[in-house]
Amino acid sequence: MKISNIKDTQAFFEVIDSCQGKVELVTGEGDRLNLKSKLSQFVSLANIFASDANIPELELIAYEPEDTKRLLEFMVNQ
């Protein structure tokens, strides 16, 4: 799933942390990063702040249907 225009990165990572299964970020090179890993979250934040402090678009893979629903609800409510 592709999500875009995340303005509140802290709330976004709180939703990621609440997911039950794996949630991966797919990089432009096709690598998959486990977003439930704090190290991956810090690396992602560093890249965000190096650009312009918001996330224009991400491709995520959530392995549990409930997690996909949780992420979509976050996007609708932000």
Q: In what order do the strands lie in the sheet with 32-34?
A: 2-6, 55-62, 23-26, 32-34
Q: What is the reported pTM? A: 0.76
Residue 4 pLDDT:
79
What is the CB-side half-sphere exposure of residue 55 using CA atoms within 13 A?
24
pLDDT tens digits, one per residue of 1-57: 888 777 788 898 899 999 999 999 887 778 888 999 988 888 777 766 666 655 567
Helix (H, G, I), strand (E, B) or coil at 41: helix
- The DSSP secondary-structure symbol of 31 reads -
Maximum Cα–Cα distance for the chain, whole Å? 32
